[in-house]
Amino acid sequence: MTLMTKFLGAAAAVALTAGAAMAEPALIFDLGGKFDKSFNEAAFGGATRWAEETGGEFREIELQSEAQREQALRRFADAGANPIVMTGFAFGNVLSEVAPDYPDTKFAIIDMVVDAPNVRSVVFNEHEGSYLVGMMAAMASESGTVGFIGGMDIPLIRKFACGYAQGVKAVNADAKVVANMTGTTPAAWNDPVKGSELTKAQISQGADVVYAAAGGTGVGVLQTAADEGILSVGVDSNQNYLHPGQVLTSMLKRVDNAVYDAMTAGTELETGINVMGIANGGVDYALDDNNAELVSEEMKTAVDDAKAKIASGELMVHDYMADNTCPALDF
């Protein structure tokens, strides 16, 4: 036993000295996986950009199970990584326990607010970005009915839906928004077959543009929309390329910028709450060669106008998570 303790002590000492020397940043991916074509992949993109520009190196780990969360955090903190960036709201509870144990390490968490002196909480105004794509969907729709398909039914996804519905109603007050959630368990993020059937069900209700905020399920939504000849809207990363000419636009959530900023700041990372909205380029709509023909001049002018108004604070988009209600949509 004493031998064991000595070994552990020695290991810790080595780790501490090594940590002080390196202080390289670390990135922890959530369960969706590093290459999810969406959220985590955007984070990886930001870290890679930082590494290429500065020549620095970062450590990373992809979580395989819930149980690894705390372990991964403590391992990186013990090894002296600084700052430690993690993606996903699910880290919230764990981080609020771990952060006070490592007062000299800086942490950055994306999509969640953790109140600790050494934590930077990055949250996105998804409702603002969704508002913009909602406007575009309403303008592109000929039937006056548009759809929304969410993944797991959690407040964050309702926030997407609510912003979207407000954007739709801003363009066409009589428009109908059909909103469905795929499920109530994490399996809802990876059920493209159900996403596909939901899309077909929405089409039979008249929808001719659908917005998918549903992770892997969204792949099925976009695919069915393309097969059935209606338009779809992607989410998080730019998904326009998945079906060129059939994806109206994508709601961009610049997770890559958040990670890049955190890594660039390094140990000097500013803590506190960092809101990434339209005003500071945190959310946006995607425009590239794949959807250039779908987005009319009129659409672009209207959306850019709304963008400027939201940025200046003239136009307020209601945030579902602020009071758990939505003025434009009934759940």
Q: How far is the CB of 110 from other proteins (least distance, A)?
A: 18
Q: Nearer to other proteins by C-beta: 180 or 257?
A: 180
Binding site for other proteins (CB under 8 A): 33-37, 41, 178, 180-181, 183-184, 187, 190-194, 196-198, 200-201, 203-205, 216, 219-220, 223, 227, 242
Q: Which is nearer to other proteins, 238 or 274 (CB)?
A: 238
The answer to whether 136 touches 248, Cβ cutoff 8 Å, is: yes
- Least separation in angstroms between CB 292 and other proteins: 21
Report d(CA 218, CA 224) in Å as an integer.
Answer: 10
Q: How far is the CB of 47 from other proteins (least distance, A)?
A: 16
User: Smaller CB distance to other proteins: residue 235 or 242?
Assistant: 242
Q: How far is Cα 312 from Cα 145, in angstroms, rounded to an integer?
A: 30
Query: Rounded to the nearest whole angstrom, what is the least distance from the CB of residue 107 to other proteins in the complex?
Result: 25
Nearest-approach distance from CB 33 to other proteins, in angstroms: 5
Phi-psi region of 256 (alpha: psi -120 to 50; beta: other; left: phi over 0): alpha
Nearer to other proteins, 259 or 269 (CB): 259
Question: 199: closest CA among 217, 172, 174?
Answer: 217
- Which CB, 144 or 183, lies closer to other proteins? 183
CA distances from 134 to 59, 73, 126, 208, 240 (A): 38, 38, 12, 13, 16
| CB of 234 or CB of 282, closer to other proteins | 234
Q: How far is the CB of 193 from other proteins (least distance, A)?
A: 5
Of 120 and 243, CB closest to other proteins: 243
Shortest distance, position 211 Cβ to other proteins, whole Å: 17
Cβ nearer to other proteins, comparing 38 with 121: 38
In this structure, are residues 76 and 68 in contact, taking their beta carbons and an 8 Å threshold?
no
Cβ distance 63 to 186 under 8 Å? no
**What is the nearest approach in angstroms of other proteins to the Cβ of residue 215?**
9
